[in-house]
Structure 1
Amino acid sequence: MIRLYFQQALYHLRENPIITWVSVLGTALAICMIMVLVITFQVRLVDCEPEVNRSRSLYVSAMSVKNKGGSDGDSSNARMSVRTGRECFKSLTTAEAVTLVSLPEKVRVSLPAGNKVTADMVQTDDAFWHIFRFRFLSGKAFTKADSDAGVLCAVLSAAVARRLFGTTDVVGKTVQLNYVEYRISGVVTDVSVLATSAYAQVWIPYTSTDIARLAWWEETVGQMRAVILARSAADFPAIREEAEQLRRKYNDSLRDSEVFYRGQPDEQFANLYRKWSETPDTKAIILRYMLVIAILLLVPAINLSSMTLSRMRRRMAEIGVRKAFGATGGELIRQIFFENLLLTLFAGVLGLALSYAATFLLNGFLFNNSTNAYLSGETALIPGMLLSPWAFLAAFGFCLLMNILSAGIPAWRASRMNITDAINQR
């Protein structure tokens, strides 16, 4: 019986090719637009290599400092110093791991008498390699002993290693970073700039430079940010509470200043939309996204429903004839369901393929911004960033529901009509 329903559905879809293709393309484009929006949203939110722990990470990207007893509005906003990071965040006991990371900076990477490149470098510590998961092509990350001792060692991305040496098998060799010699401890696969917390092309221990001394305002302000890994998301409240206790203890040790975080540590979503002193209104941001998605779904769905309804009205006579030959109302409704399921299924697969094609073709338009323009890396996409089965199923289900309702309601009414009225389309 199901096979017969599908055969009948294919026949009716071929009978009106123009309306069929308009319906297919309309549904496909609606799903495509939704998926492109979801993909641009989730590439910065979902757990994917190397930021595999986004769902259980907290971030402190900036902080504020003011004179003791002053108002929050009369403050300066900047990155934290190494000292602030160590005393306020590295000391957390409720967290699984905490790393301090500098912002990417341009560095000249060269061989003593050979090739040279300009790359994006960050300074961090050994905990960085625990929080983020990189695929090492050769060697390994620098260790806690290396970090504590300030050893001049570096991890390179594959692109930098190949441009300098022509290979990634370079562990133990030496490169010059701004004319300072560093030993290569490992080489990792290239990282997309969309991995905003983990991205770099060269990683070194911050203890190997003088960044700890580059601090001001009672050594509270500097060039670092903190990433905190919780054992589970359920520990976020406890981590925030302990961070607040450490902040107060730290402020007590300061003579004239006090630091505060304006609602941080943030989860990944809030961290993406934080702008210095402005605490992001995450509910308003989510509401805007939901409104855009609703518009992208409803406008094409209403137009497609009108076309489907018009097509069904022209089939009232057919339904009346089938009813006269003994077809039950249930059989008529099932046929309409399978017909629209086939139409929406084909459109959904086409829409999903179009969304991936559009995401790759419009990569620069969708993901480049003023921050990325400064960086040397690529806005590369990996499968883990693109797969969003729940978003696709939601968009597909909505389009299927609209198509079934617009076709099913007239079919249900016709199945309950007097046979003569249905045949005469009254």
Structure 2
Amino acid sequence: MNRWKNYIIPAFYHIRHNLSFAIFYVLGTALAFVFIAIVLQLVYSVVGNEPPMENADRIVQIGSSRDIRGKTVYVSAEEIESLMNGISGYELYAVSHSEFVDVFGEHTFVSIPVNYVNADYWNVFQFEFLEGRAFSREEFEYKQAVAVVSKSIADILFKGESAVGKRIECQKVVYTITGVVRDVSVFTTGIYEKIWFSNKYNSFTPSGDHDYDVCVLFPQHVSVMTAKQGIARVLEDYYSRRGRKVEVTAEKVYTVKENLVNDIGIQLLFYGVPAVLLILLIIPAINIVTLNVANSVKQSEEMVIRRAIGASRLELFLQIIIENLILVVIGVFLGLLLFFPMVRMIEEVCINGVLEGTDALITRINYMVILGGILPMMFVFTLLTGGYSAYLAVKKNMAVVLKGGDR
């Protein structure tokens, strides 16, 4: 314990007497790690099973296909149920169809994409309800005009009042809101609609398209490949019976997670993200190293005196590294404190301010993921910023330093 005190006490002494350098070090570290934390969270939100995509790796998505002439074909809305009767082994399926419409509330209206969905949509995708609930199968089957809205849209339409039980109008249909869900990030979920209506009232206007996305949830004991093969056979038969020659194989059928990763780009995830993290580490490290080298010159005399009275170069090297580690830890802690304000600023200024929307950058914060990724990078950053300067400080010749340095 006394040995560690001999490292830590001098480290705080140097920090206190080089306060301007310490402040620059901490602020540079905080700025780097707040963006590193955002990148780590975004990546995990895509590849991990975060709500509402908790089951994304076992939800097989049926969308449009292309026939041999390159023409887009899809399962018509009227035949989805008969198609699903041919697929075996699944738990539930969700249907969704997007339209861009005007929605009127009590105080104002919004022009926004909306999703027409069935009741099982809320069991396939696990949204977090802040108020109320999803509309039920009974409400759906009995053709009740019901809807679910996101928190941001509820605030716009009802000025911060509770939206549950309130009414909104769309295309001359008055819907009753049953629940309000947390906003989700379009960047990590691919879900850009913020209002969900009962599919029973879908008039397919203004687009006129009758295509649906069908998301089929399979139980855990059914392998994904088996599920894909079953769906591929049913789809190929479906198109064949309608005179469409479409080659559908299991390799061309994707899960929701695979589609999301493909949309973002596999190359970007595997090569782009590490490159971004490396840049976020190296750029501030270069600036800090420059000052650290200058700072090591001041420490050289102290180092050689301690070597003269018996300290080893390794012990002195560890002392300087620990001093750097303390500054990095303080900077990382400050960066994590700035995480929420930075995310909100990016949402307000860069996303909503430029795109004029209400999109969220991140759906949910996973602290274990952030800390699990930041801790090893914190030690790497310490070595990048302090390793070279520490080496310079302890390697110098004692006689030369005590004489005043090289002439």
**Contact 1:79 1:223 survives alignment (8 Å):** yes
1:25 alignment counterpart: 27
**Contact 1:27 1:351 survives alignment (8 Å):** yes
Matches within 5 A, 1:262-277: 263-268=252-257, 270-271=259-260, 274=263
Match of 2:365 among 376, 384, 393: 384
Query: Higher mean Cα deviation, 27-36 or 125-134?
Result: 27-36
Matches within 5 A, 1:94-133: 94-109=89-104, 117-118=109-110, 120=112, 121-133=114-126
- CA displacement at 1:282 relative to structure 2: 1.2
Match of 1:81 among 55, 72, 76: 76
**Contact 1:56 1:230 survives alignment (8 Å):** no
- CA displacement at 1:287 relative to structure 2: 1.4
Q: Deviations over 1:169-220 (max 9, x none)?
A: 754x7654322344x36222453463755554442331343559x98xxxxx
Relative distance call for 1:192 and 1:89 in structure 2 (3 A) is same
- CA displacement at 1:124 relative to structure 2: 0.8
Give, in whole Å, the separation in 2 of the partners of 1:189 and 1:101: 17
2:36 alignment counterpart: 34
- CA displacement at 1:342 relative to structure 2: 0.8
1:336 alignment counterpart: 320
Relative distance call for 1:84 and 1:325 in structure 2 (3 A) is farther
Match of 1:317 among 301, 305, 310: 301
- CA displacement at 1:62 relative to structure 2: 4.3
Match of 1:204 among 190, 194, 197: 197
- Give the 3-state SS of the residue equivalent to 2:365 in structure 1: helix
Relative distance call for 1:420 and 1:209 in structure 2 (3 A) is closer
Matches within 5 A, 1:17-416: 17-39=19-41, 41-42=43-44, 46-49=48-51, 51-53=52-54, 55-58=56-59, 60=61, 62-66=63-67, 70=68, 74-77=69-72, 80-83=75-78, 85-86=80-81, 92-109=87-104, 117-118=109-110, 120=112, 121-136=114-129, 139-157=132-150, 163=157, 167-168=161-162, 170-171=164-165, 176-182=169-175, 184=176, 186-192=178-184, 194=186, 196=189, 200-211=193-204, 222-232=210-220, 235-258=223-246, 260=248, 263-268=252-257, 270-271=259-260, 274=263, 281-367=265-351, 373=356, 377-379=358-360, 381=362, 383-384=364-365, 388-410=370-392, 413=395
- CA displacement at 1:53 relative to structure 2: 1.0
**Contact 1:60 1:265 survives alignment (8 Å):** yes
Relative distance call for 1:237 and 1:175 in structure 2 (3 A) is same
Relative distance call for 1:209 and 1:21 in structure 2 (3 A) is closer
**Contact 2:233 2:248 survives alignment (8 Å):** no
Give, in whole Å, the separation in 2 of the partners of 1:338 and 1:234: 52
- Give the 3-state SS of the residue equivalent to 1:327 in structure 2: coil
Give, in whole Å, the separation in 1 of the partners of 2:83 and 2:373: 39
Give, in whole Å, the separation in 2 of the partners of 1:400 and 1:140: 48
Give, in whole Å, the separation in 2 of the partners of 1:354 and 1:56: 32
Relative distance call for 1:146 and 1:192 in structure 2 (3 A) is same
**Contact 2:129 2:182 survives alignment (8 Å):** no
**Contact 1:62 1:77 survives alignment (8 Å):** no
Give, in whole Å, the separation in 2 of the partners of 1:59 and 1:396: 39
- Give the 3-state SS of the residue equivalent to 1:103 in structure 2: strand
Give, in whole Å, the separation in 1 of the partners of 2:151 and 2:39: 31
Give, in whole Å, the separation in 2 of the partners of 1:138 and 1:307: 53
Give, in whole Å, the separation in 1 of the partners of 2:43 and 2:246: 36
Query: What TM-score do the two structures reach when normalised by structure 2?
Result: 0.78
- CA displacement at 1:270 relative to structure 2: 4.1
**Contact 2:135 2:148 survives alignment (8 Å):** yes
Which residue identity lines up with residue 54 of structure 2 in the other structure?
A: N
- CA displacement at 1:339 relative to structure 2: 0.9
Gaps of 5+ in 1: 216-220, 275-279
Which residue identity lines up with residue 173 of structure 2 in the other structure?
A: V
Query: Higher mean Cα deviation, 357-366 or 161-170?
Result: 161-170
Which residue identity lines up with residue 25 of structure 2 in the other structure?
A: S
Q: Deviations over 1:37-63 (max 9, x none)?
A: 4455555555444x1416535464742
1:218 alignment counterpart: none
Aligned CA RMSD, in angstroms, stands at 4.0
Percent identical pairs in the alignment equals 17
**Contact 1:63 1:260 survives alignment (8 Å):** no
- Give the 3-state SS of the residue equivalent to 2:223 in structure 1: helix
- Give the 3-state SS of the residue equivalent to 1:7 in structure 2: helix
**Contact 1:94 1:238 survives alignment (8 Å):** no
Query: What TM-score do the two structures reach when normalised by structure 1?
Result: 0.75
Q: Number of aligned residue pairs: give it.
A: 397
Give, in whole Å, the separation in 2 of the partners of 1:297 and 1:166: 41
